[in-house]
Structure 1
Amino acid sequence: MSTRERIAEIIAADPIVLFMKGTPALPKCGFSAAAVQVLAQLQVPYQAVDVLADMAIREGIKAYSDWPTIPQLYVRGDFVGGCDIVREMYASGELQTMLAPQDAA
């Protein structure tokens, strides 16, 4: 399986996926820590992927999203953005709307 296919599987497996450096309990960079903090404030469950544990994923996610930095947030399969975008969307309320449970209808 290619790295791109692995990334697609990871993103498809959970509604909210954060590719980050480190883990939510022990972020390894300030930007990852800030993204974790926003998600913690929203109290939403998410899957965290430590890119430091897999160099193929670390480099592959940048190509997958065409976004040069980590962390990267995906919601329902769509790339949302990095730390600054996540913080801006949280401040405006847009992220809360995006992460609200979807109606089954």
Structure 2
Amino acid sequence: MDQVDSTIQNLIETNPIILFIKGSRTFPQCGFSVTVVKIFELMQIPYTTYNVLENEDVRQGIKSYSNWPTIPQVYINKEFIGGADIIIDLYQTGKLQERVEKVLAS
């Protein structure tokens, strides 16, 4: 495992809910990142963001780490959940809330 994978794995393991996004929580810099941040803000739950624009190695590395070609990427309880479209769908069906509640309860 190289340094980038180690960094990514550490971020995922130490943050129960982490969003790898373009920009920051307060200033997301692409429409998909804005959407995902808004959903998590609506849910009023603790989460962490990582700005991939600040580290090109992580920006590219997260794509191979998850085998998912786009950003944002959401991890809950060390599990890759998906990108914006999947998060929107899970939110609309109530399944995202179920996953989050399990994390917050543990």
Match of 2:100 in 1: 99
Counterpart-to-counterpart distance in 1, 2:30 and 2:18: 17
Deviations 1:12-62 (A, max 9, x none): 011000000000110100000000000001111111000000000000000
Aligned-partner SS, 1:97: helix
Counterpart of 1:20 in structure 2 is 21
Please state how far the C-alpha of 1:91 moved relative to its aligned partner.
Answer: 0.0
TM-score, scaled to structure 2: 0.94
Q: Cα offset for 1:101? A: 4.2
Q: 2:51 matched to 1:55?
A: no
Aligned equivalent of 1:64: 65
Give me the CA root mean square deviation. Answer: 1.1
Gaps of 5+ in 1: none
TM-score, structure 1 as length reference: 0.95
Q: Which runs of 4+ in 1 moved over 2 A?
A: 101-104
Letter matched to residue 64 of structure 2: A
Q: Output the CA distance in 2 between the equivalents of 1:79 and 1:9.
A: 14
- Tell me how far 1:2 sits from its aligned partner: 1.0
SS at match of 1:100: helix
Alpha-carbon distance in 2 for matches of 1:94, 1:30:
22
For structure 2, the residue ranges without an aligned partner over 5 or more in a row are none
What SS is found at the alignment partner of 1:73? strand
